[in-house]
A and B are shown apart, each in its own frame.
Chain A
Amino acid sequence: MFALTKQKSEFQKGVIAGISIALGYLPVALTFGFIAETTGLTLIETIGMSAFVYAGAAQYMSLSLLAIGTGAIEIIFTTFIINIRHLLMSTAINEKAEKDHPIIKGLYAFGMTDEVFAVTSTKEGRLTSSYILGVALIAYSSWVVNSGIGYIIGTSLPEMLQKSMSIALYALFIALLVPSLKKHRKIVYLALFAGVLNSFLSMVIPSGWSIIIATLASAVLIEFIYSKKNTYLEEVQRTDDKECG
């Protein structure tokens, strides 16, 4: 009985911590619902994508690829390339989270978005399954419900506003990128190189593949350049440490 009460409170703590994510998802999901409508998806397809895929960047990407007539295989493969980063996040959470039945872990793994990862991985102390489930559930609810609301509200907007709102997806990408750009010079190079490479590649190969190649090429090349730089800096640091110690 005591254990049950404790489990419930962990879940509630998770829900409270997840409110910030739910609020953050509200405009992004509303915008997703709206853009899905302008891209030509049905309401069921829009809610279905949010409910089953549940991956913001990939969902937005799929809309921009659908809008330019990209094929299904390329969209699915690009989704995989974009979301493979979650392999890393789930690995980090796996080390921090309490041991549990694979079914429970498989359940909260579905909700392991960037934001859910950020909140749960930075939590101090022990990380229980109930806490993660609480964070994931409120974030997920916000995403799915607001996607539907955005779709419905979007349909009644005047044509001029709908045209102006075609920038929303790109404004969102810029909004997601700029805070990191300000902190790390490396991110400027990552985004710029991928953007420039994609601009050239997309003239000669299908845009889906172009995005994959540009993204991977930039991620590998910039990492190669920076790891060389960092190795040098670490050596300098080590020499300094020796001198001091």
Chain B
Amino acid sequence: MSNTMLMIILGMAIVTYIPRVLPLVTMNGKEMPPKVKAILQNVPYAALGALIFPGILFIQEDIWFGIIGGIAALLVALLTSNIILIVISAIAVLSIYSFLF
């Protein structure tokens, strides 16, 4: 394992564990301010948006690769909440696309 990866894994482990453990061992019956609570609840959805765009456009040199795969995933996700089915459908559509073009 490279030193950089070891540092990344340990660092990620520490910063992931701290928010999970702090309230359970230190806060007993204390409440967060409602505004802070609401903003933190928004973070996962906002983060997903930022993680999808613009990254999805650059997964291959051909920009259409990400666009077609993303649209395929979106359409299947509207029909089912089965994550593996959504992922496999997007992969299948792109396999056909890269086979044809």
Contacts and interface: CB of A to CB of B under 8 A. Distances in A.
Interface range for A = 35 or more
Interface string A184-205: 0001001111111111001000
A223 B54 contact: no
Contact of A76 (B15, B45, B72): B15
A79 to B, nearest CB: 5
Contacts of B15: 76-77, 79-80, 83
A190 B42 contact: yes
Contacts of A165: 91
Contacts of B27: 91, 94
Nearest to A55: B16
Contact of B12 (A75, A85, A105, A174): A75
Interface stretch (A13-21, A43-51, A137-145, A234-242): A43-51
B64 to A, nearest CB: 12
B35 A227 contact: yes
A85 B35 contact: no
Given A41-B5, A167-B66, A219 B46 contact: yes
Interface string B23-49: 111011111100101111111111111
Contacts of B44: 57, 82, 85, 114
A106 B26 CA distance: 11
A187 B2 CA distance: 39
Given A27-B83, A170-B69, A198-B54, A76 B91 contact: no
A58 to B, nearest CB: 6
Interface string A63-81: 0101010001001110111
B4 A191 contact: no
Contacts of B98: 160, 163-164
A95 interface: yes
Interface residues of B, number: 75
Contacts of B89: 171
A87 B49 CA distance: 21
Nearest to B14: A76
B54 A202 contact: yes
Nearest to A220: B39
19 contacts: A27-B84, A45-B1, A45-B5, A64-B51, A76-B11, A79-B15, A106-B24, A110-B21, A112-B24, A164-B98, A167-B69, A170-B90, A171-B86, A175-B81, A177-B49, A191-B49, A194-B49, A219-B39, A219-B40
Interface of B: 1-2, 4-5, 7-13, 15-25, 27-32, 35, 37-56, 58-60, 65-66, 69-70, 72-74, 77-78, 81, 83-84, 86-87, 89-92, 94-95, 97-99
Given A27-B87, A66-B8, 10 more contacts: A24-B83, A72-B11, A81-B43, A91-B23, A160-B95, A167-B66, A174-B73, A175-B73, A191-B48, A195-B53
